[in-house]
Structure 1
């Protein structure tokens, strides 16, 4: 009995080992085939196509953005030029306002010296006062037509309000009119100076905006052509000193 069992064991063990060896060889062969088998080309092609579409879409967006920035830069450059032109006009008006004030100041000083002298003796008759009133009205009307008196000031003169006394001697009246004209021209000069300063600041801001947009347009064009500089990349505004600094106004 023991010999039979031992005999059976010695026969079955090699047979089982042989079977397991064959299964192991088959398993290794299948694994080798799976590892060595090339990946299917379908997903790679799909990935490549997706990347190409993405790249094309990005380039389209870049071109559209570059075009929009270029248009904005051109518009900003034109706006900066308009602002600079307006500032130059205001600067000329400021210079003329200063000349007008300087002349009025000199006239008021000269007439102030004359009024320090004794007034000429004239008969104080109704005819004399009527003549003085007519002189005052004519002088005020002339100053108004020159732009030296406002409508309200002329109305005050004709109505003898706000200190206008037609009984004064014409020399005194002339000095009063000269002082009013000087004050009006001084106010006009200060208004022109404020306007010139505001337009200068606006021109500076417009120039800076044009410069920034020009730089952005150049960068956007460079991103489209990374291998060479864009032909149209020259800045719209090349220097920051296109708008000169405001010169402080002079008084007296």
Structure 2
């Protein structure tokens, strides 16, 4: 009798462990059966393939437009730097011209000229004008006027000639500054047009992907976020 009871109590843990294994197997089978079954992919129709093909083409066009927009924005930034440099050059020329004007307030002593002095003054004017043109301080047209004595008197005192030459440099720097402003404005207009084209293409690319939703999408949420990135978009600028 004691042996039978002993065998019974010893077999209880084994039976419990067996039941636990059976219950665990049943639970695993139930979870596996409850899992959703994905239907096998169906072949794409011709219309769906056309939608995907169009979405890929628009995406490629958007990438090219992004490269163009980035290039034009870099050109605009370069044009802005040229405007700043042209203004600094004009400001320096204006300062030197005003210094010469102030010095010209003191009259020169009049005396009889030595023989050949007029030739020396003309030579000085020509050399100073050539040097200024070589340094790109005056234009070739201005140099030609100096050499041809159009609006220039080669017999004036070198101090007076220096003042007139600095005025010519100032006028040339102002002309360069105005030209740089025009180039900068034109570069900004082209950059804005490229940015508008890029935004339109990206909107069209996103719409094309939505229309081809039944087919495999070429990219996920990160792609959509990148399409609206404004890193290469130029800042809005208005001109009067």
**Which TM-score tier does this pair reach, normalised by the shorter chain?**
0.7 to 0.9
Give a deviation string over 1:20-49, Cα, whole Å, max 9, x none: xxxxxxxxxxxxxxxxxxxxxxxxxxxxxx
The secondary structure found in structure 1 opposite 2:224 is coil
Among 46, 59, 70, the alignment partner of 1:57 is 46
User: How far apart are the structure 1 equivalents of 2:53 and 2:187?
Assistant: 34
Q: What corresponds to 1:179 in structure 2?
A: 167
Q: What corresponds to 1:90 in structure 2?
A: 79
- The answer to whether 1:244 aligns with 2:235 is yes
- What RMSD in Å do the two structures reach over aligned CA positions? 2.5
Greater relative CO, 1 or 2 (CA 8 Å, sep 6+): 2
Aligned length: 196
- The answer to whether 1:204 aligns with 2:192 is yes
Q: What corresponds to 2:213 in structure 1?
A: 225
* TM-score of the superposed pair, with normalisation by structure 1: 0.71
Q: What corresponds to 2:9 in structure 1?
A: none
1:92 to partner: Cα distance: 0.6
The secondary structure found in structure 2 opposite 1:204 is helix
- The answer to whether 1:105 aligns with 2:94 is yes
**4+ residue segments displaced more than 6 Å:** none
Give a deviation string over 1:168-200, Cα, whole Å, max 9, x none: 011111111111111111011011001101111
User: How far apart are the structure 2 equivalents of 1:215 and 1:139?
Assistant: 60
Among 134, 153, 158, the alignment partner of 2:147 is 158
Among 149, 152, 156, the alignment partner of 1:168 is 156
Select the structure of larger CA radius of gyration. 1
User: How far apart are the structure 1 equivalents of 2:85 and 2:224?
Assistant: 41
The secondary structure found in structure 2 opposite 1:243 is coil
Q: Is the 8 A contact 1:97 1:185 kept in 2?
A: yes
1:71 to partner: Cα distance: 1.0
Q: What corresponds to 1:15 in structure 2?
A: none
Q: Is the 8 A contact 1:157 1:164 kept in 2?
A: yes
Structure 2, unaligned stretches of length 5 or more? 1-41
Q: Is the 8 A contact 2:72 2:191 kept in 1?
A: yes
